[in-house]
Amino acid sequence: MAKATGSDVYPNIITGRLTMSAANTLTFSEINVGLNLFDKAALLIQRIELTPSTTALADLDTDVDNFTFGLTASNQIADLQVDRAEVIDSVQVEADLIGAVVSKQLHVCPWIHDFSGLRGGGILIPPKPLYAAGVSFGMTIAGVFFWRLYMNVIRLQPDEYLELLETRRAFG
């Protein structure tokens, strides 16, 4: 399997902001980590943090309102459902109104997806293509999401890299 030779010792942090092109519209933003397919390197994602803007949270004001943020390996998909092989990870947040509209619930942000406990220390993916994606339903504004990605670059042997590419496509 992949060897950590010539790889990062400590996690790199990539931060970004995704502003949806319009309310209720699936939007993609490419994440460029400075690597390409010919580098024969993989990203070991250990943690993803997501913080929606306060206006996005405030716009969740009916029982049907929701938004989804995710990391994908394609910008050619129609949704961010977890049964799509191109969706690496996603989180959906929806309104759950209880009682009077004046009641409130506090949200602790960021929302964290920690993959460091997985065998190998995270999710191993090719560095390209990689996209941040977001979509909403029932909202009246274009959502804004801030994210952090903690990852290491893992150098692979040519046969290991080919196996990684085949594995990501074969399970789709």
DSSP secondary structure string for all residues of 72-102: ES-S--S---TT-TTEEEEEEEE----SSTT
Does residue 5 belong to any structural domain of this protein?
Answer: no
Which CATH number goes with the domain that contains 48? Answer: 2.60.120
What is the pLDDT, as a whole number, of residue 172?
A: 46
Tell whether 91 is covered by a domain.
yes
Q: Does residue 3 belong to any structural domain of this protein?
A: no
CA 122 to the chain's CA centroid: 13
pLDDT at 153: 93
Is residue 7 domain-resident? no
1 within a domain of the structure (yes/no): no
What separation, in Å, do the N-terminal and C-terminal C-alpha atoms of the chain show?
A: 21
Most confident segment among 54-58, 102-106, 111-115: 111-115
- pLDDT greater at residue 29 or residue 57: 29
Number of domains in the chain: 1
3-state secondary structure of 124: strand
Residue 2 predicted with pLDDT over 60 = no
Q: Could you tell me the CA-to-CA distances from 26 to 46, 67, 115, 129 in Å, in that order?
A: 25, 10, 25, 17
Which helix (H) or strand (E) segment is 159 a member of?
helix 158-170
Residue 120 included in any domain: yes
Which pLDDT score is estimated for 161?
Answer: 87
Of 142, 165, 169, give the one whose Cα is nearest residue 40.
165
pLDDT at 170 over 60: no
Instruction: Check residue 1 and give its pLDDT.
Output: 46
Segments forming the whole domain that contains residue 91 = 12-96+103-170
Query: Strand (E) positions, the chain?
Result: 12-19, 27-30, 41-52, 66-72, 87-94, 111-114, 123-125, 131-137, 144-155
Looking at the domain assignment, is residue 159 inside a domain?
A: yes
Q: Is residue 6 part of a domain?
A: no
